[in-house]
Amino acid sequence: MSLIELHQLSGAWAMNALDDNENKAFEQHLRECESCAAEAAELRETAARLGAVTEHAPPPALRARVLAVAAQTRQLPPATPPSETRASAVLAERRWLKRLGVLAAAASVLAAVALGTQAVRSNNELSREVDALRQVTAEYNQLAALMSSPGATTVSRSVEHGGTGMAVYAPSQNKVLFLAGGLPQLPADRSYQLWVVAADGPQSAGVLPTGGKLPPMVMEALAGTEKLALTVEPRGGSKGPTTAPLVVLPLAV
């Protein structure tokens, strides 16, 4: 085997595509050629990582794309029996074709795994984005329906230390909507808590995130409700308000 051929065997060696004699000759060459040794080590490491990749099913469209490309690829002409004078050359060509086939198959597997992984990741991301969009759309549709319902009243107030609170009372739907935005971020051991206040005292309507824009809260309009109040409480909320309200939104339910 010529020195030129030995220099070209790094990829086939990394994919275990050499026969015993070729493998022995190439490994002897590796002990004498630093550049091939470095290249072969890098390729072997890459092949090992390929074997450790978690398989994901490629997207259905991948098979169709591969078949379409194959249909457009020019095919080789029918093979003719080789003459005796070319027998050794043909055997050498077949060995190289076998190696190329193994390497091409490995490359195809790597591409399919990469595309499949990308498709799974992209589909998961897309699913999360769609779910988030649906949630936001549902919230705004609910807000629009409440605010446009017959007899709906809206009240908004500035929140102490920053932000705005708003309440919408829709008597035709017997619903109260609370919105708040621009609120200061609270320490990790504190939470915002909303209260429905009636003549007999406050009742918790729920614990909210620690700051920024709070998600809309829709609740049943309890008879006798006079106002909504927002306070800062220990993380997880309290049975009753322990601090002065940051904002009070008067209602007449």
Segment 82-137, tens digit of pLDDT: 455 445 544 444 454 444 445 554 555 455 555 554 555 556 665 665 566 677 66
- What is the total residue count of the chain? 253
Task: Give the pLDDT confidence score for residue 58 in this predicted structure.
Answer: 52
* Boundary-marking domain end, from 111, 132, 148: 148
Domain end (from 131, 148, 165): 148
Residue 71: inside a domain: no
> Which pLDDT does position 116 carry in this prediction?
52
What mean pLDDT do residues 169-190 have? Answer: 89
| Range with lowest mean pLDDT among 90-99, 139-148, 193-202 | 90-99
Q: Please, which pLDDT band fits residue 11 given cuts at 50, 70 and 90?
A: low
Mean pLDDT value of segment 158-182: 88
Decide: helix, strand or coil at residue 167.
strand
Q: Are residue 42 and residue 130 in the same domain, yes or no?
A: yes
Query: Both tokens of residue 204?
Result: 């918790």
Q: Is the pLDDT of residue 18 over 50?
A: yes
> Which has the closest alpha carbon to 44: 23, 21, 7, 16?
16
pLDDT at position 148:
84
Specify the higher pLDDT residue, 71 or 137: 137
**Lowest mean pLDDT segment, chosen from 91-105, 138-152, 192-206:** 91-105
Give pLDDT, residue 89: 46
pLDDT at 96: 45
- Range among 129-138, 205-214, 229-238 rated most confident: 229-238
- Whether 108 and 12 map to the same domain: the answer is yes
Is residue 73 a part of any domain in this protein?
A: no
- Into how many domains does the chain fold? 2
Answer yes or no: is pLDDT of 31 > 90. Answer: no
Rounded average pLDDT over 174-200: 90
Structural domain that includes position 100:
1-56+89-148
Q: What is the pLDDT of residues 35-53, one digit of tens each?
A: 678 777 877 765 565 555 4
- Per DSSP, the residues of 106-157 read HHHHHHHHHHHHHHHHHHHHHHHHHHHHHHHHHHHHHHHHHHTSTT-EEEEE
Q: Which residue did the predictor score with more confidence, 220 or 95?
A: 220
Q: Say yes or no: 128 and 44 in one domain.
A: yes
pLDDT level of residue 187 (50, 70, 90 thresholds): very high
Q: Is residue 196 part of a domain?
A: yes
The H-or-E segment that residue 202 falls in is strand 201-208
- Tell me how far CA of residue 149 lies from CA of 80, 127, 136, in angstroms: 84, 33, 20
Q: Among all chains, which residue has been given the structure tokens 């799974």?
A: 120
Residues 188 and 128 in one domain: no
